[in-house]
Structure 1
Amino acid sequence: MDWTRGRAVGRGASATVSVATCRRSGDVFAVKSAELVRSELLRREQRTLSSLSSPRIVGYRGCEITSEDSRIMFNIFMDYLPTGSLADQIRSHGGKLDEPAIRAYTRQILEGLDYLHSRGIAHCDIKSANVLIGDDGAAKIADFGCAKRVGPAGAAATAAAGIGGTPMFMAPEAARGEEQGLAGDAWAVGCTVVEMATGKSPWQAGAAAGADDPVSVLYRIACSGESPAIPGCLSAEARDFVSKCLRRDPRERWTVGQLLEHPFLESHKLGSSQAEQTNTKSPTSVLDQEFWDAMDEAESEAATTGGERIESALDRIRTLSFREGRPCRPCDEGWITVRVGGSDAASSSSSSSSWRSSWVGDEMDDASAVGGERWVGLPQGCGNCGNSCEYGEKCAVIRISLDLQRHECRFPELMSRFS
């Protein structure tokens, strides 16, 4: 495949993940790369991932060996999920998630593990950083570098496969070097629930001395007889669920199949609408997530429980565009500020040739230019045609597209896209 490597989006001990683009089709995907001489873990991941196909597992697209900067690289291609990981979601929600989101993500992770376990595979490194979030808000398990094939009893032969994973998420039997298999994944799910509820790794949640030292934590996991503290902020059902995950004896620990039947998850089976609600982001244009994705909770309830229901994007645009009087934009918070010659657009009547958008954050290059156009919010008129535009205030109500080369009003074209 003829492709181009883009910016790096993640780095681990043995591999780097970058955004890549297919030169022929323009398709964007993720590539995970390591030098061939140091690619044993990545090649193991490729063998595992290539045998899997599930909506709860990150999609595999192939592999390739390349020569780059005098280095021979081993690459595996996967679906690119720009929303990021579950760890990113925790950070973006103030360091912890509410219980409905925890329930939703936990069920999705368990569904992915149930698929893996049915195929005799233990992941061995479940944690929020190894769970990616799709565009629909659903969780997908990633990073199979530590995955192992297990025997009929559900435990990997540690003498042959060794012990791998993240120390703070290891089960006691793995920390002691005895076995690492399916039961260890159930322990890690409990640790991940603690992480979602507190924003901290499971053994940091209790804030004990030495909680940041992996060696001290491993000794504590293996020999202390303790389990991670279960957050008191969780409901009784959630706390009981975590306690079933964190039983120190793997023979007493609940299996993934049993956990899927626990009342904590059974009381609210995940639907697609809930998956979308657990993952929200600010749109970069009117067409990025579509209008209804940017509605706040109150507006969403109003749209579905009372009043006139808007059935299509075209209906929604018409409602916004053909309203009489001055524009009314209750959802302006969070939109990009547009400036003209360094001053706010609201106080300027300059032509669109001087319009530039003021971007905040690291997404400037990716978000500000799509197809040679800028998506801008205009306070009055269309900013380009002014009072001479036959569409007048209608252009201001929606976020119109200005072609910075032709300098013409794109309102008719935008409307035609939804016809």
Structure 2
Amino acid sequence: MSGGGYYSKCSVSRPVEWVKGKTVGSGSFGSVHLAMNKATGGLFVVKSAESEAGLQFLESEAEILESLDSPHVVKCIGKEMCGGGKKLNLFIEYMAGGSLADVTEQFGGKLDEMVIRLYTREILLGLKYLHENGIVHSDLKCRNVLLSSLGDVKLADFGCSKRVKQHSAAGIAGSPLWMAPEMIQGGGLDCASDIWSLGCTIIEMATGNLPWAGKISNPMAAVLRIACSDDRPNFPSHFSQQGLDFLEKCLERDPKKRWTAEQLLHHPFVLDKNLGNNSSFVAAEKYAASSPASVLDKSIFPETDYSDESSSDEEDEDEEDSPVPKPSGNRFFPFSMLCENKIGVSEQQLRFGEQWSGSEEEWITVRTS
């Protein structure tokens, strides 16, 4: 299939003629395909949407990406409106390494802590850039962080992203297991919510499981627990004290006390000892906090995949074989809308957690305007 239509102004050369390749992903907005620039042979990715809701979110992502220029954010190559304005194609640079979720799965189901440190620092640099420009990503997770074959890390999927000054509390979207408590409660959009999601993303990398795995019986239970309890996801039992302290700073339930991306960039956890300054790691012994890995007693839910401080020695070992869901396109809703019964889902959908087997397609996809 060749492209045609009109294009936007973008940061790198956009294709004039292109051919669509195989599907590499999909979401609630539409599809994602590998594509080739016929003039250069270069590869890129095309995200396409035809539904009214899909067009809205893809146009929002295009508007955000076109305004950004950072080595830590995927670059927009162009966009094309066709079909009489009923279909939008968004062209984005190709990241050959895939997502962090793909890499974690391909390398044994969990990543070494040193690699996590390196990736976390790159993610923080991307978040710092976004936040300095008044943008909240709103859907940070391993599946939305991409890698090049050389290890470059870039933030992707800006369909849920918002500009802080132009957005109210209503209509927030994101992925529930990564969302900060104040977001689910409908408390408004703030950069601090991305930091909570970063903590959840680190747990993904360290365990190969989703945040809240073993603590949550179904998606609706997840919403209630995140919004209404004082709990946090269990921290990886094998993490260093630096790593645990870093997670404490990310997963502080009070957003006003949560560290910023700028502050976290100075944390010993993301200061690479291979960069020639070992003093930061020597000083880390004095810096590391002695706070517990979890604020509540052992979960009442079965098959806990990582333990908290109250667990026994036998429970401290991560259970690698437990089934874990891996949703990708799951956008959710403010908790207040759940209470007011305004989300427009059926009773059967709300009870679907009873047969929750771990497939990413089994998550309810809900977005609000």
> Is the 1:36–1:74 contact (alpha carbons within 8 Å) kept by the matching residues of 2?
no
Which of these residues, 160, 176, 179, is aligned with residue 167 of structure 1? 176
1:157 aligned onto 2:168? yes
Deviation at 1:180? Answer: 2.6
2:208 aligned residue: 199
Q: Deviations over 1:201-242 (max 9, x none)?
A: 1100xx1251xx221101100001101111111000000000
Task: Give the secondary-structure state (helix, strand or coil) at the position aligned to 1:222.
Answer: helix
> Is the 2:100–2:147 contact (alpha carbons within 8 Å) kept by the matching residues of 1?
yes
Deviation at 1:267? Answer: 4.8
1:63 aligned onto 2:72? no
State the alpha-carbon separation in 1 of the partners of residues 227 and 189 from structure 2: 13
Q: Deviations over 1:85-140 (max 9, x none)?
A: 00001001111001011001000000000010110000000000000001211210
1:18 aligned onto 2:33? yes
> Is the 1:86–1:128 contact (alpha carbons within 8 Å) kept by the matching residues of 2?
yes
| Matching of residues 179-258 of structure 1 within 5 Å | 179-204=188-213, 207-210=214-217, 213-258=218-263
State the alpha-carbon separation in 2 of the partners of residues 15 and 49 from structure 1: 18
State the alpha-carbon separation in 1 of the partners of residues 176 and 200 from structure 2: 11
> Is the 1:156–1:181 contact (alpha carbons within 8 Å) kept by the matching residues of 2?
no
1:377 aligned residue: none
Based on CA coordinates, which of the two structures has the bigger radius of gyration? 1
State the alpha-carbon separation in 1 of the partners of residues 216 and 58 from structure 2: 35
State the alpha-carbon separation in 1 of the partners of residues 22 and 275 from structure 2: 34
State the alpha-carbon separation in 2 of the partners of residues 103 and 229 from structure 1: 19
| Matching of residues 351-362 of structure 1 within 5 Å | none
In the superposition, relative to structure 1, how do residues 216 and 74 fare at CA in structure 2: closer, same or farther (>3 Å)? same
1:94 aligned onto 2:108? yes
Task: Give the secondary-structure state (helix, strand or coil) at the position aligned to 2:73.
Answer: coil
State the alpha-carbon separation in 2 of the partners of residues 199 and 50 from structure 1: 33
In the superposition, relative to structure 1, how do residues 143 and 269 fare at CA in structure 2: closer, same or farther (>3 Å)? farther
Task: Give the secondary-structure state (helix, strand or coil) at the position aligned to 2:273.
Answer: coil
> Is the 1:172–1:221 contact (alpha carbons within 8 Å) kept by the matching residues of 2?
yes
In structure 1, stretches of 5+ residues that fail to align are 272-419
TM-score by structure 1 length?
A: 0.60
Q: Deviations over 1:7-26 (max 9, x none)?
A: 11011111211111122222
Q: Deviations over 1:385-413 (max 9, x none)?
A: xxxxxxxxxxxxxxxxxxxxxxxxxxxxx
Which of these residues, 151, 156, 160, is aligned with residue 142 of structure 1? 156
In structure 2, stretches of 5+ residues that fail to align are 1-15, 277-369
1:54 aligned onto 2:61? no
> Is the 1:45–1:143 contact (alpha carbons within 8 Å) kept by the matching residues of 2?
yes
Q: Deviations over 1:24-46 (max 9, x none)?
A: 22221111110163310000000
RMSD: 1.8
Q: Deviations over 1:305-339 (max 9, x none)?
A: xxxxxxxxxxxxxxxxxxxxxxxxxxxxxxxxxxx
Deviation at 1:2? Answer: 1.6
Amino acid at match of 1:157: S
> Is the 2:216–2:222 contact (alpha carbons within 8 Å) kept by the matching residues of 1?
no
Q: Deviations over 1:260-313 (max 9, x none)?
A: 111111253769xxxxxxxxxxxxxxxxxxxxxxxxxxxxxxxxxxxxxxxxxx
Which of these residues, 119, 123, 129, is aligned with residue 105 of structure 1? 119
Amino acid at match of 1:87: A
Following TM superposition, the consecutive aligned residue runs of length 4 or more in structure 1 with deviations greater than 4 angstroms are: none
Amino acid at match of 2:204: E
Which of these residues, 34, 42, 61, is aligned with residue 58 of structure 2? 42
In the superposition, relative to structure 1, how do residues 53 and 71 fare at CA in structure 2: closer, same or farther (>3 Å)? closer
State the alpha-carbon separation in 2 of the partners of residues 246 and 258 from structure 1: 14
State the alpha-carbon separation in 2 of the partners of residues 55 and 266 from structure 1: 19
State the alpha-carbon separation in 1 of the partners of residues 151 and 275 from structure 2: 11
Deviation at 1:156? Answer: 4.7
Deviation at 1:56? Answer: 0.6
1:81 aligned onto 2:95? yes
Identity among equivalent positions (%) equals 46
Q: Deviations over 1:179-211 (max 9, x none)?
A: 23200000011001111111111100xx1251x
> Is the 2:117–2:272 contact (alpha carbons within 8 Å) kept by the matching residues of 1?
no
Greater RCO (Cα-Cα under 8 Å, separation 6 or more)? 2
State the alpha-carbon separation in 2 of the partners of residues 209 and 109 from structure 1: 27
> Is the 1:148–1:181 contact (alpha carbons within 8 Å) kept by the matching residues of 2?
no
TM-score by structure 2 length?
A: 0.68
Q: Deviations over 1:53-109 (max 9, x none)?
A: 111101110100134xx9942011111112210000100111100101100100000
In the superposition, relative to structure 1, how do residues 240 and 37 fare at CA in structure 2: closer, same or farther (>3 Å)? same
Task: Give the secondary-structure state (helix, strand or coil) at the position aligned to 1:231.
Answer: coil
1:394 aligned residue: none
- The count of aligned residue pairs is 260
Amino acid at match of 1:57: V
State the alpha-carbon separation in 1 of the partners of residues 150 and 257 from structure 2: 35
Amino acid at match of 2:124: L
State the alpha-carbon separation in 2 of the partners of residues 222 and 208 from structure 1: 14
> Is the 1:104–1:270 contact (alpha carbons within 8 Å) kept by the matching residues of 2?
no
